[in-house]
């Protein structure tokens, strides 16, 4: 039994079992409520085969101010759900359980009528960067004269496993308290994006340990909220009535139209489930942001702030390094070159092996790791004979080096002894796959699912529906293997050294 999970009746369903033989409704659903869109996958409970899917976009956002109306996530879910159930034999009545995975960290502040007191602040909103420094200063050790003798990072990392940066919910709460006292006084609840969508389904105020671990005020090591850290922001508020209840991995949050609603989790935690990661495995996820994360049996705490010490959705832990700029860098440069993704890949691969290549530092919209919220992109090594092909490859190389910097930081806290799995929209780039594979010391595996977050949410729903643990569902669905596709690595020479020189010179 893990992390207080409730006992479940029945034993592990064997791969040969059928939906009818286990005597329950045959389908489960996973929701990925991301920055860009809501995606829904409905899967067969036994085989894991996708039987229905749908998606709907969210409003586009661009830092430093990155906000969305949380009600729009609910509207997008209705659209995506309607599309997904059209293909399901028997429709929605044949779906037994559902789970929601959402973009981490976002602040959804609600009044007593469950209406937002301010648009939801997303993870990549950087307006709260000054608050991160202020919060650290409040917990820093001081000498007898009241002078700070450290920067507070050790204390905060020891408390919750992570050092707050602008992405974390705790800094956004501090920002709201500092800048909008009327909204603050009206706030009755604070939820995360996945909590909000789950609340719209169930009427309950719940979260899970994975998503709670990204707030900056819940400890993965102890499994408890740190009321002392919340009191740094507002010592007069009764925080026990403001934050949601943290559910155990196999708990049920409630019911939606007769469908059991699982606890849900953060997007990275769901991706780990969807990729079938086991302790020792690591993932490189290249979406709007880039993340490197690994499943660990022990909690971590990095005072430098590079590695966030998160919990996962199963009772283990998920140390993670996040970069703010990943696939969107490729999108931006492709747009500048006036090409689609296929032509962009062709251009980049055509420049492989050339000399005097430019180097791109991809901090287009500020960066989270390293913590440079005000940074911008930088192109170094330009010559008058620069070509479109070289600019395309520079973008690919910059994203690849940023991801491998993240993986290097992760290795210091979570030894990577198993697979390195590449996932996310950026993994569709053959140029990016080849460059990363050439720079890695171990083989690179492509994810076996297209939508790892939605797949992972479906794993969580299946664990609730069938009484299995998550690992049993992953094995039954074959998620612990890669796609089987081959990757042709390319030799990038001294690329990482040249990238490091540009990165360090820009700090």
Active site residues: 267
**DSSP type of residue 324:** S
Q: How far is residue 127's CA from residue 172's CA, in Å, rounded to a whole number?
A: 8
- Is 479 exposed, middle or buried, given 0-12, 13-18 or 19+ CB atoms closer than 10 A? buried
* Cβ-based neighbours of 305, under 8 Å, separated by 6 or more: 153, 157, 162, 163, 165, 369, 371
Q: What six digits make up the tokens of 119?
A: 């648009």
Sign of the CA dihedral running 308, 405, 32, 20: negative
Q: Is the Cβ–Cβ distance between 475 and 46 less than 8 Å?
A: no
Q: Is the Cβ–Cβ distance between 404 and 496 less than 8 Å?
A: yes
Core vs surface per residue 41-60: b (16+ CB within 10 A) or e = bbbbbbbbebbbbbbbebee
CA 68 to chain centre: 17
**DSSP type of residue 450:** S
Q: How far is residue 249's CA from residue 51's CA, in Å, rounded to a whole number?
A: 25
- Is 155 exposed, middle or buried, given 0-12, 13-18 or 19+ CB atoms closer than 10 A? middle
């Amino acid at each position: 039994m893990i992390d207080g999970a409730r006992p479940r009746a029945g034993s592990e369903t064997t791969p040969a079992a059928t939906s009818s033989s286990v005597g329950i409704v045959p389908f489960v659903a996973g929701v990925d409520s991301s920055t860009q869109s809501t995606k829904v996958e409905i899967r067969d409970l036994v085989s894991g085969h996708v039987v229905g899917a749908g998606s709907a976009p969210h409003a586009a956002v661009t830092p430093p101010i990155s906000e969305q109306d949380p009600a729009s996530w609910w509207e997008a879910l209705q659209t995506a759900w309607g599309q997904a159930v059209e293909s399901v034999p028997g429709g929605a009545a044949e779906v037994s359980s559902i789970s929601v995975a959402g973009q981490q960290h976002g602040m959804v502040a609600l009044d007593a009528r469950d209406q937002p007191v301010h648009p939801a602040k997303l993870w990549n909103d950087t307006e709260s960067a000054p608050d991160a420094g202020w919060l650290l200063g409040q917990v820093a050790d001081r000498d007898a004269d009241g002078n700070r003798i450290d920067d507070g990072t050790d204390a905060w990392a020891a408390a919750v496993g992570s050092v707050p940066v602008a992405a974390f919910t705790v800094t956004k709460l501090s920002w709201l308290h500092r800048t909008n006292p009327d909204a603050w006084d009206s706030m009755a609840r604070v939820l995360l994006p996945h909590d909000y969508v789950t609340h719209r389904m169930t009427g309950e105020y719940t979260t899970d340990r994975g998503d709670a671990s990204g707030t900056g005020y819940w400890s993965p090591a102890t499994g408890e909220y740190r009321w002392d850290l919340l009191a740094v922001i507002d010592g007069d508020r009764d925080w026990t009535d403001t934050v949601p209840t943290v559910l155990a991995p196999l708990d049920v949050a409630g019911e939606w139209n007769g469908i059991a609603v699982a606890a849900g989790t953060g997007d990275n935690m769901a991706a780990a489930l969807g990729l079938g990661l086991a302790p020792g495995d690591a993932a490189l996820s290249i979406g709007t942001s880039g993340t490197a994360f690994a499943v660990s049996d022990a909690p971590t705490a990095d005072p430098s702030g590079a590695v966030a010490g998160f919990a996962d959705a199963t009772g283990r832990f998920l140390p993670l390094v996040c970069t703010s700029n990943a696939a969107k860098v490729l999108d931006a440069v492709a747009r500048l070159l006036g090409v689609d993704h296929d032509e962009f890949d062709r251009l980049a691969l055509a420049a492989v092996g050339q000399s005097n290549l430019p180097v791109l530092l991809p901090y287009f919209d500020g960066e989270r790791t390293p913590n440079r919220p005000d940074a911008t992109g930088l192109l170094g090594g330009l010559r008058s004979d620069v070509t479109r092909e070289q600019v395309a490859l520079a973008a690919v190389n910059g994203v690849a080096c940023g991801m491998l910097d993240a993986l290097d930081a992760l290795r210091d806290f979570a030894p990577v002894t198993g697979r390195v799995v590449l996932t996310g929209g950026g993994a569709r780039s053959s140029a990016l796959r080849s460059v990363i594979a050439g720079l890695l010391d171990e083989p690179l595996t492509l994810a076996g699912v297209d939508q790892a977050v939605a797949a992972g949410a479906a794993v969580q729903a299946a664990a609730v529906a069938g009484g299995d643990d998550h690992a049993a569902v992953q094995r039954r669905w074959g998620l612990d293997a890669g796609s089987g596709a081959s990757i042709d690595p390319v030799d990038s020479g001294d690329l990482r050294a040249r990238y490091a020189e540009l990165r360090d010179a820009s700090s």
